[in-house]
Amino acid sequence: MKKTITFLLLILCMVPAWAQLVTTPGEYTIKNLDINTKESDFGTAFLGKDKVIFAAPTTNTMIIRKTWAESGQQFLDLYTGLITEDRQVIQKKRMPGDVNTKYHEAGVSVTKDLKTIYYTANNYYEKKYLTDSSGVNNLQLFRASLDLAGNWIEKEKLPFNDVEYSLGHPALSHDDKKLYFVSDMPGGYGQTDIYVVDIREDGSFGEVRNLGPKINTKGREMFPYIDKDNVLYFSSDTHPGYGKLDVFASKIFDTTVSTPLNLEEPVNSVDDDFAFIIDDERDRGFYSSNREEGKGDDDIYSFLANPGLYIHCDQEISGFVRSESSQEPIAGATVELRDESGEVLQTVTSGSDGSYSFDARLCNSPFVVVGMNKGYLNDERAVRTVNDIDVGPLRVDLNLPDQFVSNKVNINTIYFDFDKYNIRPDAAKELDKVVQVMNEYPELLIEAGSHTDSRGRDKYNQKLSEKRAKATVDYIVSKGIDASRLTFTGYGETQLVNDCADGKKCSEEEHQLNRRTEFTINNESGFELVPSPQ
């Protein structure tokens, strides 16, 4: 990179099969912006969907000191511009307020509410030009807020700045809860490393953490940007690339990060390529480069991405199917993997030892695993794959209950709210098991017996229990079971399961146990249950 960017910062996989990482750099169409000058223009940040903030040579004629000695160029200020349909930036305006000074300002990140910015500037604060012990003015991180008049004010230095080293290039996570930045502070892996710090709800900060050796090298890692899927884009001159600074991408998981992926040409070149940002749709964005075909020093480029960068990890889901009562393995059981809406994504059969396994599924995603077999009720487990790549298979064991215990269908008792007879969502799941059994045994007849707690008059509770029993049967019939196979009886408060009778002080949890429906096989004595052929 040419002198400007060097100045601004230097003074400033093999993945196991059970956690496969899938990556592709995407295809990009780039365009040089009309606003670029012969000097250094770089470092865009989205200001909402239709505007950007970027660094460019100052146009403020009131500044006494116009150039800096190392390059002879104008000092950098922050500007805004409007994004056009053809990916140009127009209506360039110097940012109002007190963020711009007579020295350098660059490298911005904006909160989602567009009311706070984090940015990089020379250590010039309250009209003081501050230097370290060797006389060098290092870069520092600042925060500013937007007032009602549209000015950026309340400028403050972040508390983890230090006069002895540089910090810059802030990048907020998509939820504004983490701030990534670059520094040459002691204890890093190379010339400049990328760090992260938590932002608390009150605006204070947690402990600064280095992103580690998978991201940081002995060279320069710079210009971080985090997209909505927690993909970190950054530039490096040491990870394998085309030469000088290249743009890379790495997915940040809960405790791990993926190996950086080079975005390749045309984003990267033999020159310096940096400050890459991409919108939430992942199909357009901006980056900066000092490649030979540019207009001057560093230029800003817009791009279209098709289909754009794709990084995700897949994780295996596996386990065993067993009998709940005996814990013996069930061979030949059907196991389904469903999404949250209930759509079946994959179906497998358990092996002789009851084991099953699904192909790798998307990490950090919700699923439902359902086991089923003749003679057993279904068992289903809601699971979420882990948001990490260096982990083993997600273990999900299934225990299938016997369909019958004594003369009752072996499902969990369903319960009702106080003085209500509507079917709750938890009860509906259990009633679906009754439907399963009745579909499997076409001759099976069942009685639904409902109960109340002791509160209220006996006559009222009798009617309430009958309504609960009828609501139970109506639900089963709505699932396609012939009404002639079902009977229902209300028992009022005559069959309490505990001693919470009239006048007895009991907790709400104890009363809940009595507001229930139970299911009894209603066939003649000696009836043999034979499942229907499947």
Residue ranges with strand state E in 324-390: 334-338, 344-349, 355-362, 366-372, 379-384
Distance of CA 349 to the CA centre of its chain: 32
**Nearest CA among 404, 427, 220, 416 for reference residue 325:** 404
Q: Where, residue-wise, is CATH 3.30.1330.60 in the chain?
A: 404-521
Task: Name the residue with tokens 């002879």.
Answer: 72
pLDDT single digits (tens) 490-500: 999 999 999 99
The domain 3-12+16-308 having CATH identifier 1.10.260.40: the answer here is no
Contact status, residue 76 vs residue 65, Cβ threshold 8 Å? no
The token pair that represents 80 in the structure block: 């805004």
**pLDDT band with cut points at 50, 70 and 90 for residue 64:** very low
CA geometry: angle 261, 262, 268, nearest 5 deg: 160
Average pLDDT, the chain: 90
pLDDT single digits (tens) 159-184: 999 999 999 999 999 999 999 999 99
Query: What is the length of the chain?
Result: 534
Q: What is the predicted pLDDT for the residue at 17? A: 39
Q: Which CATH number applies to 404-521?
A: 3.30.1330.60
Residue 437 sits at φ, ψ, to 5 deg, of: -65, -45
313-400: CATH superfamily: Carboxypeptidase-like, regulatory domain (2.60.40.1120)
Q: Where, residue-wise, is CATH 2.60.40.1120 in the chain?
A: 313-400
- Does the bond joining 425 to the residue before it have cis omega, within 30 degrees of 0? no
3-state secondary structure of 322: strand
Residue 309 sits at φ, ψ, to 5 deg, of: -65, 140
Beta-bridge partner residues of 289: 273, 299
Distance of alpha carbon 486 from alpha carbon 463, whole angstroms: 19
Question: Above 80 in pLDDT, residue 62?
Answer: no
**Nearest CA among 187, 211, 186 for reference residue 197:** 211
CA geometry: angle 531, 533, 534, nearest 5 deg: 115
pLDDT single digits (tens) 124-151: 998 899 999 999 999 999 999 999 999 9
Can you give the pTM of this predicted structure?
0.77
pLDDT single digits (tens) 367-423: 999 999 988 999 999 999 999 988 888 999 999 999 888 777 888 889 999 999 999
Q: Where, residue-wise, is CATH 2.120.10.30 in the chain?
A: 3-12+16-308
Question: Which residues contact residue 214 at a Cβ distance below 8 angstroms, ignoring those fewer than 6 apart?
Answer: 250, 257, 259, 260
**Nearest CA among 458, 453, 375, 374 for reference residue 419:** 453
Distance of CA 71 to the CA centre of its chain: 43
Amino acid at 7: F
Q: What is the predicted pLDDT for the residue at 524? A: 59
